[in-house]
């Protein structure tokens, strides 16, 4: 099946697709805003979907955002910043976006 579109029709299709993807991304971010300010070890392990061994390894890292002032707690905002800083795919995407 061959479909013929004008340039304006193609632009509209692209706009609609981009708009749809942006709305989907915003919906995915909503749960992040619903998280508590500090997470327990178990909550962090569940959120990151890692094993007990990996969680222990992360908590032992000097750059991991853990606070031990009132038990083992992980600052949620700092955790997401740490994930962005330590995930190569996100770093590459950020560099690409800054060039554009």
Tens digits of residue pLDDT in 20-58: 887 776 666 667 778 999 999 999 999 999 999 999 999
Confidence class of residue 87 from pLDDT cuts 50, 70 and 90? confident
- 82-88, long-range: CB within 8 Å, 24+ apart, which pairs? none
Confidence class of residue 67 from pLDDT cuts 50, 70 and 90? very high
Burial of residue 41 (CB within 10 Å: 0-12, 13-18, 19+) is middle
Question: Tell me, what's the pLDDT at 100?
Answer: 47
**Is the distance from CB of 37 to CB of 75 less than 8 angstroms?**
yes
Tokens for 73, please give them: 């707690």
Across-strand partners of 67? 73
Q: Which domains does the chain have, with CATH numbers?
A: 7-99 (1.10.238)
Query: What is the radius of gyration, based on Cα positions, of the chain?
Result: 20
Confidence class of residue 71 from pLDDT cuts 50, 70 and 90? very high
């Amino acid at each position: 099946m061959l479909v013929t579109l004008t340039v304006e029709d193609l632009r509209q299709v692209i706009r609609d697709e981009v708009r749809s993807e942006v709305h989907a991304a915003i919906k995915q971010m909503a749960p992040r805003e619903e998280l508590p300010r500090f997470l327990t070890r178990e909550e962090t392990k569940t959120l990151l979907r890692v094993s007990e061994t990996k969680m222990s390894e992360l908590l032992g890292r000097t750059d991991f955002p853990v606070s031990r002032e009132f038990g083992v707690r992980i600052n949620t905002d700092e955790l997401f910043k740490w994930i962005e800083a330590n995930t190569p795919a996100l770093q590459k995407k950020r560099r690409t976006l800054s060039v554009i």
